[in-house]
Chains A and B, each alone.
Chain A
Amino acid sequence: QVQLQESGPGLVRPSQTLSLTCTVSDGSVDSSVHYWSWIRQHPDKGLEWIGYVYYIGSTHHNYNPSLRSRVTMSVEASKNQFSLDLSSVTAADTAVYFCARIRQQLTYFDSWGRGTLVTVSS
């Protein structure tokens, strides 16, 4: 049973870059049948897909157009981790951030991390 765990700062200053890492256990980030994704949930709101990344020889990604200009995702295969950078954050980026595994082709999220709250505040 794959497990995912988010890590990173819980507080980020406005205009700075939010950086999170997801560590994958009992699974491999260079899987040929999965993508690795970030989703966020604003307080008491619904779910927003941020994007996904995968590594097959090189890194490939697909970002939500609403966030594309500020998002960078990467994979560190040697550490079995993948990461999210979200630049120029504002209070509107305050949310719980989840990492998750996506089944390729059908794109459902079959495993999730517990989530980490990131607050943007000065």
Chain B
Amino acid sequence: DIVVTQSPDSLAVSLGERATINCKSSQSVLYSSNNKNYLAWYQQKPGQSPNLIIKWASTRASGVPDRINGSGSGTDFTLTITSLQAEDVAVYYCQQYFTNPPWTFGQGTKVEIK
């Protein structure tokens, strides 16, 4: 099974500042035949269900603001919130869908306001 590990477990960022979350998979999730990374990011706000924000490692889902960006390839990925807003307070999860089953999630990163 592919293990997905996020860092840090939590971070506190001032409003308007950058938040960076890392995600590392134990095997490459890049499919060479289509050059796509099979990695997604989800945002779970307090008291809510998760919501897809990034697919294919870097494509924003519908309605996601452009301050939220995904990047990376192979085994190393990053979610960046360029200017943190109050509504971005949430737990963020990365998830690989390259090898399934199982679909595996990172342990989550909690983003708070400093």
Are the chains A and B members of one assembly?
no
A residues at B contact (CB < 8 Å): none
